[in-house]
Amino acid sequence: MPTNAPNESRNSGAHISLRQCSKSYRANRVLQPLDLDIRAGETLVLLGPSGCGKTTTLRIIAGLDTPDAGGAVLFDGQNVTAVPIERRNVGMVFQSYALFPNMNVGDNVKYGLRVRGYAPAEAHSRAQQMLAMMRIEELASRRIDQLSGGQRQRVALARALAPQPRVLLLDEPLAALDARLRDTLRVEIDRLLRSLGITAIYVTHDQSEAMALGDRIAVMEKGVVAQIGTPEDIYFRPSNAFVSDFVGTMNTILHNGARYLFRPEDIELVDRSSAQFSGTVVQRQFLGDHVQLAIAIDGNQEQRPVTARADSRTAPPLNASVGLTLRPSH
C-alpha cells in the first residue's frame, strides 16, 4: 500500500500526561484517579466495555470534560487543565462522524483552517492535500449526505488532521461501519497514524481494533486502568481475569488439582489415546477459515466448556468425543 502522506505534515505531536484525573457525576465516580502518560507520537488505545471510563478519559484529554479538583492534564509538560478545547489544538474523530451537513466535503476539511484565520488559498491547498492523503480528492465538492459511511469517516479524519493537531483523539471511529469497511478503514488509519507519527488516543470496545492499532493498550474496567502495555503484553501476560477474558477468549481447565489457563489457539485436537484431556463437542460453529468448537472436558470442575479451533475441513462433528493437548509452554 503506497503512503502518499505529505512529508511536511510529519509531526510527532505532544507528550500527554494525566495526573490524578478523576471524574464524578453527582455522587457517582465514573473515573477513579488516573495517572497516564502517552508518549509523543505514540498510539494509545483505551479498551474496555461501555461504562468503563474510556470515553470520559478521552473527553478529559480533549477538554470537553474537566477532571474533578486535583486532576491535571499536561501537554508537553504544560498544564492545559483550564484551557478550553478550542485552544488545545486537538483533532477529534467521532463514531457519528459529526460532519457539518451545511457544508460540502471541502468546506468541512477547511473549517479548522478557516476559524484559525488561514488565507483562503492556503486553506484550500492544505485541504486538497488532506483529501489526497485520504484518497478522496474527487469528493471535494460533494454534499455530506451523498457520502457512504466509510467516505464520511475519511472526510472526518482529513478535517481533524488539517490544522495539524498536537494529538488526534478517536472515539470509536469504526463502530458505525459494517465489518468489511471496518477492516479496510482500520488498515487505512494504521497507515495514517504510522506515517504521520502523530500522538493518537483511540477509544474502542473492539479488542481486534485495539491489537491492530495500539502501540500500547490500556484496558479499562469500572473507571480504573486494569492493565496497560503492548498488545503482546495484554494478550499473553494479562494481569488479571478481567483482562484475559476481555481481550480474546481465555479457557480454564481445573483438572486433578491443577489449573490450566490458555487461549483457544493453544490447544490442539489430537488422537484420544495420546491426549492430555478428553471431552465432547457441545457446540460447533463453521466460520469459513476455521471451525469454532465448544468442548466439555471430562472431569473439568470448571463449568464452562473450553473454546477450541479446528481446521474447517477436518473438524469433528457435534457430540463427537475428542482428545485435546495443550501446546508446549503451557
Residues that bind another protein (CB under 8 A): 62, 64, 84-87, 89-92, 94, 96, 98-102, 111-112, 115-116, 156, 159-160, 163, 169
Instruction: Tell me whether residue 84 or residue 299 sits nearer to another protein (CB atom).
Output: 84
Q: Rounded to the nearest whole angstrom, what is the least distance from the CB of residue 329 to another protein in the complex?
A: 46
Q: Rounded to the nearest whole angstrom, what is the least distance from the CB of residue 52 to another protein in the complex?
A: 20
Q: Where are the beta strands (DSSP E) in the chain?
A: 16-25, 28-38, 43-47, 72-75, 78-79, 90-94, 167-171, 200-204, 216-221, 224-229, 251-255, 258-262, 267-270, 277-286, 290-297, 306-311, 321-326
Q: Rounded to the nearest whole angstrom, what is the least distance from the CB of residue 16 to another protein in the complex?
A: 15
Contact (Cβ atoms closer than 8 angstroms) between residue 247 and residue 47: yes
Instruction: Tell me whether residue 102 or residue 319 sits nearer to another protein (CB atom).
Output: 102
Instruction: Tell me whether residue 71 or residue 91 sits nearer to another protein (CB atom).
Output: 91
Instruction: Tell me whether residue 65 or residue 209 sits nearer to another protein (CB atom).
Output: 65
Instruction: Tell me whether residue 103 or residue 326 sits nearer to another protein (CB atom).
Output: 103
Which neighbouring-strand residues pair with 17?
37, 74
Describe the strand order of the beta sheet including 72-75 as a list of residue ranges.
28-38, 16-25, 72-75, 78-79
Instruction: Tell me whether residue 169 or residue 226 sits nearer to another protein (CB atom).
Output: 169
Q: Rounded to the nearest whole angstrom, what is the least distance from the CB of residue 111 to another protein in the complex?
A: 5
Q: Rounded to the nearest whole angstrom, what is the least distance from the CB of residue 171 to another protein in the complex?
A: 9
Contact (Cβ atoms closer than 8 angstroms) between residue 58 and residue 203: yes
Write phi, then psi, for 290 (nearest 5 degrees). -155, 175
State the DSSP string of 156-168: HHHHHHTT--SEE
Instruction: Tell me whether residue 115 or residue 261 sits nearer to another protein (CB atom).
Output: 115
Cα→Cα distances 67→19, 58, 94, 330, Å: 10, 11, 21, 43
Q: Rounded to the nearest whole angstrom, what is the least distance from the CB of residue 236 to another protein in the complex?
A: 36
The C-alpha angle with vertex 300 and arms to 262 and 238, in degrees rounded to 5, equals: 25
Q: Rounded to the nearest whole angstrom, what is the least distance from the CB of residue 99 to another protein in the complex?
A: 8
Please state, in angstroms and rounded to a whole number, the distance separating the CA atoms of residues 175 and 170.
11
Contact (Cβ atoms closer than 8 angstroms) between residue 323 and residue 273: yes
